[in-house]
Amino acid sequence: MAGREEGDLCPECGTPFDRRPDHPKATFLAKRGLTYIISAMVCLLLLPPIAFVFLFLSIRAQGRLRAGHTDYRIPFRVAQRLRLTRALTYAWFAEFAIFLWIDELWPGFMDWVGYFA
């Protein structure tokens, strides 16, 4: 890519060349977001109220990478990890909906107060 100007297309993949530096905390935030959403999925099985805290933290970590960072670019590996985190976030909501449905069939399945009493 030596000698290429900003906006020139890559001869292999056709994406525009980007000279912006990588986001300084991108890898850290992406790993943290993925860790939080996995924790939320596990906690939904064991301690559902804590799962909402991890879900919020995961969404917050994802948002910090998306919100208006035009001065930096997001590396490819980080973008892959963000897509995985986003997919797991949707899966978490599906898991929660399934748990609510099971609770309708089997009352007391998600008796959160009973966990702490």
- Could you read off the pLDDT of 40-99 as tens digits, one per residue? 999 987 788 899 999 999 999 888 877 555 677 777 788 899 899 999 999 999 999 998
Q: Is 2 left (phi over 0), alpha (psi -120 to 50) or beta?
A: beta
> Cα–Cα distance between 12 and 56 in angstroms, integer?
39
> Cα–Cα distance between 33 and 62 in angstroms, integer?
6
- Structure confidence by residue, pLDDT tens digits, 80-95: 998 999 999 999 999 9
Predicted TM-score (pTM) of the model is 0.72
